[in-house]
Structure 1
Amino acid sequence: MHRSAAALDGEMNLVAGAFSSSPEKSREQGDNLHLDPDRVYDTYEEMADAEAERPDGIDVVSIVTPNFLHHDVARTFIDRGFHVICDKPMTTTLEDAEDLCRRVDEQDVVFCLTHNYAGYPLVKQARALVEQGRLGALRKIVVEYPQGWLNRRLEAEGNKQASWRTDPDKAGAGALGDIGTHAEHLARYVTGLSLERMCADVGTVVEGRPVDDDASILARYEGGVRGLIHVSQISAGEENNLRLRVYGTEAGLDWRQEDPHRLTLLTDINGEAPQQIYSHGRASLADSVQPFVRTPQGHPEGFIEAFANLYRSAAHAIAAHEAGVEPEPWARDFPTVQDGAAGVHFIETALESSEQEAWVDASYTPPRT
C-alpha cells in the first residue's frame, strides 16, 4: 500500500530498504523489487549507517513495521538527519512519542504520520466548510470506526496481521491504537478541536484476546463541544465503516470512508436551504482542496490515492526543506509528529478513564524543543 502510494505521482523512487526481520527475506524482497543488492539491508541500523555515508543516500525513510519498532527505527534515522514517514500509531508509549517530537525539532527534519484518511479530498472539503463557518458554532462531534474482521480469534488461526495486531508486545493497544487513533485524528483534523475530557468504556469482547477490541468514549472538546467516539473490531459484517458527523448551530456535515466521494452538508430542517452534496472533482470545492483532487468528477479515486496525497505533500515539503524555502500551503497539509503524540496520549487517556470508570482530563499539548 505504501509503496503504491509513494510511487503514484512519480515524485519518489524506492532505492533502498530493510524489508524483513529475516535477512534472507529482506534480500528476496529487494530482488523482487529490482533494487541494487548493495542497498538491500539485513537490518534498519545497517541501512541508516550505510545510507548516511552515501553521496546518493536516501532522503526519506518510510516505516511500516509493527508498532513496537516505530520509535527505535524513527529515532535511528532522525538522528542521522533523515526525513521520516511513519505509520500510525506513532509509538506504543507516550514517553517514546514525546522523545520523537523533541528529536524531530532538534534535527530539523520533516516527519509525516500516515493518517491517510486526512488525504481524502472530501475530508479536506469538510475541514474547509468548518473553517468557513458554514456550520456555525460547533456543538457535537460523532466519529465511529466499526470493523468486523476480528469478530473471532483469527490470531489463533495463524492470520499474520491478526497475530501481531493483537499482541500487546508488538501492537501496544488493540482497537484503540489500530483504528481509534484514526477516528480521533479525523475528528481533530476536520474540526480543529482537541479533546479536553473523556469518559471511556474500553474492553475485550472476544474471550482470550489480550488487547482491547471495542471502545465507546464520551468526549468533551474545546469550547464545551460534545463528542462521541466509537471504535470496534468485533462488529460482525462491518468492513471499514469510518464515519464522521459534525453538527453546528447552522448546519452539519456527514462523511463516510466507504463512500468517500460524497460529503453531505446537512442544513437546518427548520430553514429554507436545501441539503448539499459535495463530490470530488468539481470546481466548487475549496481552493485548498483542489491540489488533492486527482480525477475528473464521476471517476472514482480512493484509499491509495488518499495515501498518495500524504506522500506527495511530504515529498514537496522535504524538497522545500532541502532547498531552504517555504513549501506551498498544500505541501504542509499532512499529519505530523505532534499529531502522533496526540494519538498516543488519546490511547493512554482512554485506557486510564476506562480503568477508573470515570471522566478524566484529556487535554494535551505535544512537546517542542
Structure 2
Amino acid sequence: MMTRKLRMGMVGGGTGSFIGDVHRKAAAIDGMIELVCGAFSSTEEKSIASGKALHLKESRCYKTFEEMILKEKELPEDIRMDFVAIVTPNHMHFPPAKMALEHGFHVICDKPVTLTLEEATTLQSIIKESGKLFALTHNYTGNAMVKQAKAMIAAGELGKIRKIQAQYLQGWLSTTIETTGQKQAAWRTDPSKSGIGGALGDIGIHAENLISYVTGLNVAEVAADLGVFGKGRVLDDDGNMLIRMENGAKGSISISQIALGEENNLAIKVYGEKGSLEWYQENPNELITRWLNEPKKIYSPNGNGLHPEALEVSRIPSGHPEGYLEAFATIYKNFAKHILSVNAGEVVENPDYPRIEEGVRGMKFIYAAVESNDNNSNWTKI
C-alpha cells in the first residue's frame, strides 16, 4: 500500500530542456512521485536557478550531481530522495547512474542507456552488485495499444511471427541546424556526446526496442545501410536495415532524421500465420488488426476485447486521446510500483518497464549496425 509519494531527484533537465519537462510531467501524472531535488545543468548557476524556478527548496538545488548524491545520502531516510532520474545527453548517463547506484539510490534513465557498449555492460554489473532498480525510458512501450499488441502476440493470436516492418522517420535535421546554435541538434550530431550512432542511437533503438517488446523476439542479425546527408556531419542521419529475428522471421527497419516533412513517424507492422497488426505513434490510440478469415478490427484504449495489460494503462474513457506523456507516465508508474514493492519486502518477477537488459541489447544493436555499414552492409550478428 502506498503511504507517501516517492521522492525523485533529477540530473539534467534544466530551464529550456524539452525532455526534462517531459520527465517531470510524466512522473507526476499518476500522483505517485514528487520532485524534491536536482542538479539540473552542468553550469552551476543555471542548475540553481532551474531548481528555484521549479519551486524547490534552495538547500536542495545542487550545483553538481556529485553534490546532490552525497548530500542526499546524508539526509534522514524520511526526507532524502528515493531515486534519481537522468535526463542528460548520452555522454552524461553513465557517471551519475554509476554514482547513484553505488550510493544506494534507484535510477531511471533516458535512452540510449550509455555513450558506449563498454559503459553499458559495466553499468549492468554495477546494477547487479548494488541490488538497486534501474529503468530505461523507452517510453513508447508504455502505450496502451502497444501493450495490447504485445499481449495478443504472446497469447498466440497472430500465430507464428513471419515478417516485421518498423520505421522511425523524422525531418528535423533536414538542414544543418546544429551549426546555428540549436543545442538538441548540436549534441546529437557530436560523437563525443551522442556515441557512434546518430539517428541510429537517437531513434533507431526505439524501433529495435519496439520490435522486441511487441513480438517478444530479439533481432539476431542486421544488414545496415546508413547514410550521412547533412554537410559536415560524421554521424548517420538516415538508414535502412534488414533484420533477421531469432525465430527465423524476416524484417526491416527504416530510420531517418532528414525525411523532409516527417514529424515523429514511428510505426510497426507484424505479420503472423493467422493475422497481422499495425500501430502508428502519430495515431497512438488505434491498433489495426487483420485476420485470415475475419474482418479487420481496430482496437482503442478502454475499448472492447482488450487484454488486461492494455486496460491497466488506459487511464481515461474511450474517445479521449492518450499519447506521449501518458506512455512516458506508464514507465514511471511501473517503476514506482516496483520500488514500493521492494520497500515492502515483496519480490516482483517480471516488472513491466524497460531495464538494463534492454539497454545493453540496444547498444549491441547500434554497434552491430555500424559494423555492418562499415563492411558494405554485411550481415552482422548482435
Q: TM-score, normalised by structure 1?
A: 0.95
Instruction: Give the equivalent residue in structure 1 for 2:41.
Output: 20
- How much is the aligned-residue C-alpha RMSD, in angstroms? 1.1
Instruction: Give the equivalent residue in structure 1 for 2:198.
Output: 174
Q: Give the counterpart of 1:218 among 215, 227, 242.
A: 242
Query: SS of the residue aligned with 1:326?
Result: coil
Mapped contact 1:220–1:226 kept (Cα < 8 A): yes
Instruction: Give the equivalent residue in structure 2 for 1:367.
Output: none
Instruction: Give the equivalent residue in structure 2 for 1:256.
Output: 280
Instruction: Give the equivalent residue in structure 2 for 1:149.
Output: 172
In 2 relative to 1, CA 93–309 (structure 1 residues): closer, same or farther, beyond 3 Å? same
Considering Cα pairs closer than 8 Å and 6+ residues apart, tell me whether 1 or 2 has the greater RCO.
Answer: 1
Instruction: Give the equivalent residue in structure 2 for 1:366.
Output: none
Mapped contact 1:61–1:82 kept (Cα < 8 A): yes
Mapped contact 1:200–1:358 kept (Cα < 8 A): yes
Cα distance between partner residues in 1 of 2:363 and 2:222 = 15
Instruction: Give the equivalent residue in structure 2 for 1:33.
Output: 54
Instruction: Give the equivalent residue in structure 1 for 2:147.
Output: 124
> Where do residues 77-116 of structure 1 align in structure 2 (5 Å cutoff)?
77-116=100-139
Cα distance between partner residues in 1 of 2:46 and 2:85 = 18
* Number of positions where the alignment pairs a residue of Structure 1 with one of Structure 2: 358
Mapped contact 1:51–1:57 kept (Cα < 8 A): yes
Cα distance between partner residues in 2 of 1:88 and 1:158 = 23
Name the aligned partner's letter for residue 207 of structure 1.
K
Cα distance between partner residues in 1 of 2:253 and 2:113 = 20
- The offset of 1:327, in angstroms, is 4.2
Mapped contact 2:301–2:311 kept (Cα < 8 A): no
Query: SS of the residue aligned with 1:139?
Result: strand
Mapped contact 2:302–2:318 kept (Cα < 8 A): yes
1:193-239: CA deviations, max 9, x gaps? 11111110012111211211011110100121101011100000000
Instruction: Give the equivalent residue in structure 2 for 1:281.
Output: 302
Query: SS of the residue aligned with 1:289?
Result: helix
Q: Give the counterpart of 1:207 among 222, 226, 231.
A: 231
- The offset of 1:283, in angstroms, is 4.5
Alignment of 1:57 onto 2:76? no
Q: Give the counterpart of 2:358 among 330, 339, 354.
A: 339
Instruction: Give the equivalent residue in structure 1 for 2:182.
Output: 159
Query: SS of the residue aligned with 2:222?
Result: strand
Alignment of 1:138 onto 2:161? yes
Cα distance between partner residues in 1 of 2:360 and 2:240 = 21
Instruction: Give the equivalent residue in structure 1 for 2:376.
Output: 357
Mapped contact 1:316–1:327 kept (Cα < 8 A): no
Identity within the alignment, %: 47
Instruction: Give the equivalent residue in structure 2 for 1:3.
Output: 24
- The offset of 1:361, in angstroms, is 3.6
Query: SS of the residue aligned with 1:74?
Result: helix
Cα distance between partner residues in 1 of 2:73 and 2:378 = 48
Instruction: Give the equivalent residue in structure 1 for 2:327.
Output: 306
4+ residue segments displaced more than 6 Å: none
1:151-182: CA deviations, max 9, x gaps? 01010111111111111111112100100010
- The offset of 1:284, in angstroms, is 2.1
- The offset of 1:65, in angstroms, is 0.3
Alignment of 1:320 onto 2:344? no
Mapped contact 2:225–2:377 kept (Cα < 8 A): no
Alignment of 1:192 onto 2:216? yes
- The offset of 1:2, in angstroms, is 0.3
Alignment of 1:239 onto 2:263? yes
Higher deviation after alignment, 128-137 or 255-264:
128-137
Cα distance between partner residues in 1 of 2:239 and 2:363 = 15
Higher deviation after alignment, 197-206 or 307-316:
197-206
1:54-77: CA deviations, max 9, x gaps? 112111100000000101111010
Name the aligned partner's letter for residue 69 of structure 1.
M
Mapped contact 1:216–1:231 kept (Cα < 8 A): yes
1:116-143: CA deviations, max 9, x gaps? 0000000000001101111111100101
Query: SS of the residue aligned with 1:50?
Result: helix
Cα distance between partner residues in 2 of 1:168 and 1:100 = 20
Name the aligned partner's letter for residue 162 of structure 2.
R
Cα distance between partner residues in 1 of 2:83 and 2:248 = 40
- The offset of 1:190, in angstroms, is 0.2
Instruction: Give the equivalent residue in structure 2 for 1:292.
Output: 313
- The offset of 1:34, in angstroms, is 0.9
Mapped contact 2:174–2:258 kept (Cα < 8 A): yes
Q: TM-score, normalised by structure 2?
A: 0.92
Mapped contact 2:223–2:380 kept (Cα < 8 A): no
Cα distance between partner residues in 2 of 1:327 and 1:282 = 29
